[in-house]
Amino acid sequence: MTQRPLLDIHKLTTCFASHQGIAKAVDTVSLSVMQGETLAVVGESGCGKTVLALSILGLVPDPPGRVTEGSISFKGQDLLDLSDSELMEIRGNHISMIFQEPMTALNPVFRVDDQIAEPLRLHQGFSKAQALEKAVEALDLVGIPNPAKIVKSYPHELSGGMRQRVMIAMALACNPDLLIADEPTTALDVTIQAQIIDLMNELKERMDGSLMLITHDLGVVARMAQKVAVMYSGKIVEFSDAAGLYAEPLHPYTQGLLASVPVLGKKTRLNPIPGIVPSIFDLPEGCRFHPRCPKSFQKCALMLPPLFEPKPGRQVRCWLYED
């Protein structure tokens, strides 16, 4: 019997309106996450990764943004059909999110214990004393020393690494089925980044949960993900298992991303991708990557390629694989 995905996104489109017009930040994206799996969504800033995550949880600010097409099935239920109150029951309880900047995601006027306790009291029916005890346990679980003391701290009294651990503790407090981590190691120094990656891997294995990792850091992806989706200008341009992607990247954009990553011990010159990600209000005709692509030809500028499947389980949006 085929296992049903825990999360199944089908042709999702999220648009934003402005004086410049209507822009598709997420354009007909289809993805799935299986139970116990880590899926990484990779791409440069502005490609739509964070908007995709916010769309899943119904957190896209409306106005100016809203989901206009598609479905987001979680455990067989379309999240887009739910009311705000029904979505609130799922957020933090069944699906949790670690936001990109813990200093801005944490409320500066509330202590750590209040912020971890809130979802426990809201979703699990804990008393104030029970929630405080659980908050201390959660901080201990994520490796914070002296959690009984730290739980009484305000966010500004903690280091960046400690705040990120508090965010992870908050996200995991209700034992969610799916954790969405948006750039969980950004703004942390390299040593703390490694600790956070190891911690998330350990907690995921212990809780047998699923993880959707939003990142631009291919080093993080290599250590955490089983599947990888590469986004560019709102669209998926390549989907693969992680091992296959690193061994043989298919899309020229993926090849460019990997070529721009420094390799320890090698003094080879880095090869940055020329140009920048185009504005979602002014996308090029045809393949959206063609103005920056070293392998583009005439058809690339005229027609947007579909997703081809040159190998089993691998998809790539590039005319080079038409045949």
The pLDDT of residue 71:
97
Q: Name the least confident of 13-22, 81-90, 166-175, 267-276.
A: 267-276
Whether pLDDT at 183 is above 80: yes
Q: In the prediction, which pLDDT does 207 show?
A: 78
DSSP letter for 91, please. Answer: B
217, 244 Cβ separation under 8 angstroms: no
Residues 147, 155: Cα–Cα separation, whole Å: 14
Reply yes or no on whether the pLDDT at 127 is more than 60: yes
pLDDT of residue 192: 78
> What's the pLDDT score for residue 187?
67
Describe the chain by its helix, strand, coil percentages, rounded to 5. 35, 25, 40
Query: pLDDT tens for residues 221-241?
Result: 988 899 999 999 999 999 999
Reported as a single tens digit per residue, the pLDDT across 300-311 is 999 999 999 999
Q: Which residue has the higher pLDDT, 68 or 101?
A: 68
Report yes or no: 232 and 47 within 8 Å, Cβ to Cβ: yes
pLDDT band at 2 (very low <50, low <70, confident <90, very high): low
Average of per-residue pLDDT across 281-296: 94
DSSP state of 81: G
Per DSSP, the three-state class of 126 is coil
What is the Cα–Cα distance from 181 to 179, expressed in whole angstroms? 6
Share of the chain above pLDDT 90, in %: 53
Q: What is the residue type of 226?
A: Q
What are the pLDDT digits (tens) for 128-179? 888 888 889 888 888 888 999 999 999 999 988 888 888 888 888 888 899 9
Please give the pLDDT value at position 104: 76
- At residue 323, the pLDDT reads 79
The highest-level CATH class for domain 7-94+177-195+205-263+270-282 is alpha beta
Which ranges in the chain belong to alpha helices (H)? 49-56, 84-90, 102-105, 112-123, 128-141, 147-150, 160-172, 190-207, 218-224, 242-247, 252-259
**Mean of per-residue pLDDT scores for the chain:** 89
Q: Using H for helix, E for strand and C for coil, what is the string for 133-168? A: HHHHHHHHHCCCCCHHHHCCCCHHHCCHHHHHHHHH
Asked if 278 contacts 286 with a C-beta cutoff of 8 angstroms, the reply is no
In angstroms, the CA 156 to CA 163 distance is 9
- The pTM of the full predicted model, rounded to 2 decimals, is 0.90
| Weakest-pLDDT range from 24-33, 38-47, 63-72, 118-127 | 118-127
d(CA 233, CA 280): 7
Domain boundaries, the chain: 7-94+177-195+205-263+270-282, 101-175
**258-284 residue pLDDT tens:** 988 777 676 677 788 888 888 888 899
Whether residue 54 is predicted with pLDDT greater than 90 in this model: the reply is yes
Residue with the two structure tokens 């949006």: 317
Q: How confident is the model at residue 184 (pLDDT cuts 50, 70, 90)?
A: confident
pLDDT average, residue stretch 243-268: 87
